[in-house]
Structure 1
């Protein structure tokens, strides 16, 4: 049975799902089409997406700081509008640098409109209840890729890729933006009080060892996931899976993320966020062992996707909730924005690092390396919990502005 707060989260969940599908997943979904239509190499095109992720990471603290000042609604809706307008401009590109420039702008839009910004607003507004809403948002958001890939393919086949990106833009502009604004309004009855932000608070928080341990843990999960996910088709085929079976396995990652999030929702109140975080890293470490064993038994690929998908699925919830629990809500936007940098940088650089390592030492080394990195992340999350100050508080003296 869903609580009133969880039902109130659905408008935001719809907005996030459609925005992720349009601004993020549209790139990998249309990449083969662009390669054929524009005549640029896969590496040339992929570099634009890496740039978008880097820009998104760098801009995240700015978006967080604006949310801290009470501009959450404007940041979230503004980022969506900017992303939609840039998608409209995409069909006009004629040079590679045009393509890169537009995707750099979309990266800026991502920093203000996707999970990091959305979860920052949610956490500032409803504080200790944020885990419930974030779980619902990510539950539906797990289907963004499942929606984007077939939709992009069908639209590109029927109307051309130019029309496809314009349709994605229209969805963001006329569906995501209204739902995001309406969704934030739905959360108002559940608002918790929040102390006024004190000057220098974010700097003091970022100087704490807990902050750096969380940054290490988040970077580890982004790096490992980015490295494995991007090369997963190659890894599975090298392990003996047929092309179609490898595609089936990869396509199950999204649904398995949803399974992990459903389990987290069902155990809410019975399992702490720290316990969920430990399970998250442990599942992903076990998943790397299963992926290695796929060479011996191809069905271990399904064990991998179940554990990796479920583990990574709950990571999206763990990151903002764990940050608020260990570091408090004071200057949460700026602090969580800074913690988005190592996570997004890890995710952006993971594919490049995996490509280099695979060329030098093979994919087994990549898999083992990912497991070691996740083990470091697990130790970092344990250290963050032990080092955390004991006076973090969710409550304060004034109403949070969105």
Structure 2
């Protein structure tokens, strides 16, 4: 299997960034689902209000993604990401002492700003700016490590909450973000920015923003196709994952087995990313994206069929996890391959605005589909949507104006 170590490759910076990303994902994203039931039981806050607040957090992070991208294009990535980690730590510390639901909601909305500056989108923009054609390898490595953020967040929050309550757990996550994530993000992104500046001196300098806007008309179609494809796949995964336990319950699957099926999707995402590393020289980015569409679409069919043949639930786990696991890698890589590196951060943020919003709204759309025609209709719509995503990726020209090599 290929490794991240090779001459000129900033492996140490990528490793530090991967650990930092794992921590910020655990602290700012997975803390919410990890502590949700404790907020309900300890504070008496309703699940509907709590989850609505988190949905608002995700939507706000999506809206701010282009702004974060523009800062990265201007070389402000280190300050943005390290500053977001510090700000997020302060917000979690404030969260741990609040007794007001309205203040709780306001803090989570503010964490949406933090997410826009600390999670995958800004991270991948920094990496792409620094490494260009080598970004795919680095991004895959980062997602392999950060894929275990939930594995860190859920047990850590559970154990600390058992000892001292959810407030102590929130304080622990804040400390982890402030004293571990922030320094790692600062050091790694500072070195990557230096790498980007050295690389920029050897290649064509980015075009002025006005000139880039003039050229945008000819790039609207590929941008639209990429955004449509990734938004659909992200929304499909979000819908299925959020409704997975109710779907399996409607198939009369036992609670223990249903939880086991749900727990298997995450590890299979890591398997999908490992496959990218193993076959990166033999599979183009476009082929990987098309395969992801096929895998997620077939997974919906397997989930539908599991009511008749329970063993299909195993195949669902393999297809859903490994298929979607490649998406977070392919999105920045294909964007660079298709539209080039000029103003990459802003363009990536614009794409994230749509894809993240789609993923945030998908669970609600799934509930509406369930009301209309049950989960049979819901899964049928997911399968058809994956066909649309496949068509969008297939419509991209085989040879781009800005090749990856």
| Aligned counterpart for 1:198 among listed residues 186, 208, 211 | 208
8 A Cα contact 1:206 1:212, kept in partner? no
Structure 2 residue aligned with 1:346, among 354, 358, 366?
358
Which residue of 2 is the match for residue 367 of structure 1? 379
Q: CA deviation at 1:183?
A: 2.2
- For residues 236-263 of structure 1, what are the alpha-carbon distances to aligned partners after superposition, in whole Å with 9 as ceiling and x for unaligned? 1211221111111111111100000001
Q: Equivalents in 2 of 1:363, 1:116: separation in Å?
A: 32
RMSD between aligned residues: 1.8
Aligned to 1:133: 138
Work out whether residues 327 and 392 of structure 1, in 8 Å CA contact, stay in contact via their aligned partners in 2.
yes
* Aligned 8 A contact 1:66 1:75 in 2: yes
Report deviation, 1:93.
Answer: 2.8
Deviates more, 1:122-131 or 1:177-186: 177-186
Query: How many Å apart are 1:202 and its aligned residue?
Result: 4.8
Displacement after TM superposition at 1:393 (Å): 6.0
The whole-number CA distance in structure 1 between the counterparts of 2:397 and 2:44 is 50
Instruction: Using the TM superposition, give the Cα deviation of residue 53 of structure 1 relative to its aligned residue in structure 2, in angstroms.
Output: 0.3
2:183 and 2:96 mapped to 1: Cα distance?
25
Q: Please, which of 244, 256, 278 is the counterpart of residue 266 of structure 1?
A: 278
In structure 2, what is the equivalent of residue 60 of structure 1? 65
Note if contact 2:338-2:401 (Cα within 8 Å) is conserved in structure 1: no
1:394/1:293 Cα in 2 relative to 1: closer, same or farther (>3 Å)? closer
Does the 8 Å CA contact 2:206/2:343 hold for their aligned counterparts? no
| 1:392 maps onto 2:402 in alignment | yes
Deviations for 1:35-91, whole angstroms, at most 9, x for unmatched residues? 111212111110011000000000000000000011011111111111111111112
- The match for 2:21 among 13, 16, 21 is 16
Q: Distance in 2 between matches of 1:104 and 1:202?
A: 33
Pair 1:381 & 2:393 matched? yes
Q: Following TM superposition, by how much is the alpha carbon of 1:206 offset from its aligned partner in structure 2, in angstroms?
A: 4.8
Q: Take 1:116 and 1:97, find their aligned partners in 2: how far apart are those partners?
A: 29
Label 1:22 to 1:204 Cα distance change in 2 as closer, same or farther (>3 A). farther
Higher alpha-carbon deviation: 335-344 or 185-194: 185-194
- Please name the residue that 2:177 is paired with: 172
8 Å CA contact 1:11–1:179 kept in 2: the answer is yes
Residue 292 of structure 2 contacts residue 323 of structure 2 at CA under 8 Å; is this kept in 1? yes
User: In the alignment, which residue of structure 2 is the partner of 1:358?
Assistant: 370
Give the match for residue 154 of structure 1.
159
- TM-score, normalised by the number of residues in structure 2: 0.93
Aligned residue pairs, count: 393
Match of 1:400 in 2: none
Structure 1 residue 303 displacement after superposition: 0.8
**Structure-to-structure mapping, 1:2-401, within 5 angstroms:** 2-4=3-5, 5=9, 7-8=11-12, 9-185=14-190, 187=192, 188=194, 192-193=199-200, 195-204=205-214, 206-207=216-217, 208-385=220-397, 390-392=400-402
Q: In 1, distance between residues paired with 2:133 and 2:71? A: 21
The structure-2 alpha-carbon separation of the partners of 1:154 and 1:172, relative to structure 1 and needing over 3 Å to count, comes to same
Relative to the length of structure 1, the TM-score reads 0.93
Task: Measure the CA separation in 1 of the matches of 2:296 and 2:166.
Answer: 36
Distance 2:195 2:272 in 1: 28
> Structure 2 unaligned runs (5+)?
none
Structure 1 residue 185: Cα displacement: 4.8
For 1:174 and 1:78, how far apart are their aligned partners in 2? 12
In structure 1, distance between residues paired with 2:332 and 2:292: 14
Partner SS state of residue 225, structure 1: helix
User: Aligned with 1:330: secondary structure?
Assistant: coil
Q: CA deviation at 1:394?
A: 6.7
What secondary structure sits across from 1:166 in the alignment? helix
Describe the shift of the 1:6–1:237 C-alpha distance in structure 2 as closer, same or farther (beyond 3 A). Answer: farther
Structure 1 stretch displaced more, 86-95 or 160-169 = 86-95
| Distance (whole Å) between structure 1 residues aligned to residue 318 and residue 148 of structure 2 | 16
